[in-house]
Structure 1
Amino acid sequence: MSTLKETKPAVRAAGAANTRAARPAGRKSRLTRQQSRAGWLLLAPALLHSTFFLAVPALAAIFLSFTNYDFSGAWQMIGTENYVELFQDARFQAAFRNTILYTVVVVPLSMVLALIIALGLNQKIRGLGFFRTVYYLPVVTATVAVASVWLWIYHPSAGLANAVGSLFGLTRSEWLNDPATALPALMAVGIWQGLGAKMIVYLAALQGVSNELLEAANLDGANRWQVFRNVIWPALGPAHYFVLITAIVQTFQVFDLVFVMTKGGPVNSTTVLTFDIYNNAFEGLRLGYASAETVIMLILVAAFIYLGGRSQRKNQDAQ
């Protein structure tokens, strides 16, 4: 009996303790649900925008790519005829090659140059704010205005490029009229215009590098290259990934420069996928055909992003 009397208060005490332990867990669960609802509420505008302006048009393009729709209102399903015709189209093949070449050249070069500039502007130098503004100015300048200025720079007789080249004994070049130089000339403009945005991202990442790690490396006798390789470079991993993905998307979207400066010429040497899609859809009035080309471009962008992200993750794992 005495044992039973002693056991009952102990059981009640244990039950009370379990109740008190359950109450915080219940409050935590309710708090988590409230936070989840608040998070979805905050995400709702972005999700609605992505749904109506990205997902729905993408699905519509996939559907239209299997039709012969031409803005007339009448259309019919034609299966994969648009895709078969695309890969037999010489202009599409040229646009496909030019887009890949433009991306492969512009993305890595612009990233390297932007990082070098960011490293320079991360130092304590006079006129730092002025230089940061100058490098970022092309980003906020209208692409049409940028293209107009570079049209003058590349002008065969009165352009700055040939004038500077003549000082070094170089012959005058028909920059935008020569198939051999037209696409590289556009690449140079694309690299120059995109440097500012990439530089700002790298500069922000550099300013977030731990001062303690830098001081420890200096105390250990590391030189500048060793500090950069072992301390700064690993800390820039997220910035590299962000700059890489945004640069890939931007290069595939190049249109204004081509439209204003070359119209895809000469001899389709600067025709890219976006410009060819525009021509097929709004000049040739073949929306189904242009939609098939859009689907191929989306697949190509996804492949580049996947490969870029995979290479970036491998670099981070190796470090």
Structure 2
Amino acid sequence: MTTTLSKPSEVGVAQSPRPGRSGAAPRRRSSVVSRQKRAGWWMIAPALVQSVVFITVPTIAAILLAFTDYSFSGAPNFIGGANFVELFGDIRFRTALVNTVLYVLVVVPVSMAIALAVAIALNQKIRALGAFRTAYYIPVVTATVAVGTVWLWIFNSGSGLANGVLALFGLSPVGWLTDPNHALSSLMVVGIWQGLGAKMIIYLAALQGVSPQLVEAANLDGANRWQVFRFVTWPSLGPAQFFVLITSIVGTFQVFDLVYVTTKGGPGLATNVLVFDVYNNAFGSLRLGYASAETVIMMILIGGFIILGRRLQGANTHD
């Protein structure tokens, strides 16, 4: 009977690794990851510096100045919450607060709905598609001063285009920007029109990212267009919806140049909004501490609207 001796590796005896190679691959991977992280930090460094210098520092300064009587001259004196108490007794601030909230509640949802409808229409195969997309985006890249000037002519009480259209139907002219009952709603129309293109482009990009396989599977299951949109397209738009919602809330709360060019907050206080009121208090009345308190309240409102919008979006997504 012949006995065969097995090699050490065949009887479970582990061979020693070759010298110089133990852990080499993990070290190389760790080195690559470290270099990638450093490169990433260098790439975002300009944006971080910009955020710190122009966002973080001014925000902290505004919060601190809100509790002072600073007026551009002399050292600021701490006065506690006196500015906030005075604000809520100020009719100009209360009117600006109501006008701004109304502006946000109308412009944000209406502009998002119209932009989504336009994006769905432009996502089809139609002629001159590029021309339509460009036409919708032109207001976004046009200076608000120019936009406001054009709409001043459109809403002109005497010879404006809007009243000219009303005259064709035998209707009386309207003081679009001179009547307190119509001024704010007229600015809402301009705000919706001007922001339509940016939202439309984002929705269009999101629509083009919807999986064709999911749409085809839904069609094969007998889903109609509304069902495909409700159960396939709409859930896929979640990230785009959130981005559009946040940017829309922040942008509409900060409306200023349109008001400054068209109505200067008038007639009366009909179009006085928060940022315009902050501008008047800071640079008209030279009450920077008072204006900073108003800014703090506006920041709290923006945060509250963002949280509310996020919860509403989450509820709609999970339905």
Indicate whether the TM-score tops 0.5: yes
Shift of 1:283: 0.6
CA distance, structure 2, for counterparts of residue 53 and residue 149 of structure 1: 32
Shift of 1:23: 3.8
> Which secondary structure does the structure 2 equivalent of 1:246 belong to?
helix
Q: What amino acid does structure 2 have at the position aligned with 1:244?
A: L
* SS of residue paired to 2:17: helix
Equivalent positions of 1:280-291 (< 5 A) are 280-291=281-292
State the distance in 2 between where 1:171 and 1:154 align: 14
CA distances 1:97-145 after superposition (whole Å, capped 9, x unpaired): 1111100100000000001111111111111111111111111111011
Q: More deviation in 19-28 or 216-225?
A: 19-28
Total equivalences in the alignment: 312
Aligned residue identity for 2:227: Q
Residue aligned with 1:249, SS = helix
Please list, as runs of the form range in 1=range in 2, the aligned pairs for 1:232-243 lying within 5 A after superposition. Answer: 232-243=233-244
Distance 2:273 2:160 in 1: 25
Which residue is 2:194 aligned to? 193
Following superposition, the deviation at residue 41 of structure 1 comes to: 1.8
Q: Is the 8 A contact 2:65 2:76 kept in 1?
A: no
Q: State the secondary structure of the residue aligned to 1:82.
A: helix
Structure 1 unaligned runs (5+)?
1-5
Distance 2:262 2:137 in 1: 22
Corresponding residue number in structure 1 for 2:4: none
Letter of the aligned partner of 2:273 in structure 1?
V
Post-superposition CA distance 1:61-116 (Å, at most 9, x none): 11111111111234311111111101110000000111111001000000000011
**Residue 122, structure 1, aligned to residue 123, structure 2:** yes
Determine the C-alpha separation between the residues in 2 that align with 1:37 and 1:141: 38
| 2: CA distance, partners of 1:293 / 1:21 | 63
Amino acid at match of 2:267: P
Instruction: Please tell me the residue identity of whatever aligns with 1:147.
Output: G
Higher helix share: 1
> What is aligned with 1:135?
136
CA distance in 2, matches of 1:184, 1:314: 29
Equivalence map 1:193-232=2 (5 Å): 193-232=194-233
**1:120 is matched by which residue type in structure 2?**
A
1:111 is paired with a residue whose SS is helix
Structure 1 equivalent of residue 5 of structure 2? none
CA RMSD of aligned residues (A): 2.1
Between the aligned partners of 2:169 and 2:224, the Cα distance in structure 1 is 37
**1:24–1:311 distance in 2 versus 1, CA, 3 Å:** farther
The offset of 1:210, in angstroms, is 1.2
Code of the aligned partner of 1:82: N
**2: CA distance, partners of 1:146 / 1:164:** 20
Once the two structures are overlaid, the 10-residue window that deviates more, 48-57 or 226-235, is 226-235
Which residue in the other structure is 1:178 paired with?
A: 179
1:30 to partner: Cα distance? 3.1
- Looking at structure 1, the residues matched to 143 and 42 of structure 2 have their Cα atoms a distance apart, in angstroms, of 35
1:50 equivalenced with 2:55 (yes/no):
no
Q: CA deviation at 1:32?
A: 2.7
| Counterpart-to-counterpart distance in 2, 1:237 and 1:229 | 12
**In the alignment, what sits opposite 2:93?**
92
Once the 2 structures are TM-superposed, how far is the Cα of residue 22 of structure 1 from its aligned partner? 4.0
Could you tell me which residue of structure 2 aligns to residue 3 of structure 1?
none
1:16 alignment partner, SS class: coil
C-alpha distance 11-61 of structure 1, shift in aligned 2 (>3 A): farther
Q: C-alpha offsets along residues 11-68 of structure 1, whole Å, 9 cap, x if unaligned?
A: 663x639x96744333333333332222222221111110011000011111111111
Letter in 2 for 1:231: V
| Cα distance in structure 2, aligned partners of 1:280 and 1:232 | 46
- Check the 8 A contact 2:70/2:288 in 1, yes or no: yes
Determine the structure 2 residue equivalent to 1:166.
Answer: 167
Normalised by the length of structure 1, the TM-score is: 0.92
* TM-score of the pair, normalised by structure 2: 0.92
Matching residue of 1:252: 253
Q: Secondary structure at the match of 1:199?
A: helix
Aligned partner of residue 268 in structure 1, secondary structure: coil
**One-letter identity of the residue aligned with 1:304:** F
Match for residue 266 of structure 1? 267
Q: What is the rounded CA distance, in whole Å, between the counterparts of 1:11 and 1:185 in structure 2?
A: 86
The percent identity for this pair of structures is 62
Q: Can you list the C-alpha shifts for 1:159-202, whole angstroms capped at 9, x where unaligned?
A: 11111122233221111111111100000000000000000001
Which digits, 9 at most, give the CA deviation of each residue in 1:281-311, with x for residues without a partner?
0010101110111111111111111222222
Equivalent residue letter for 1:208: G
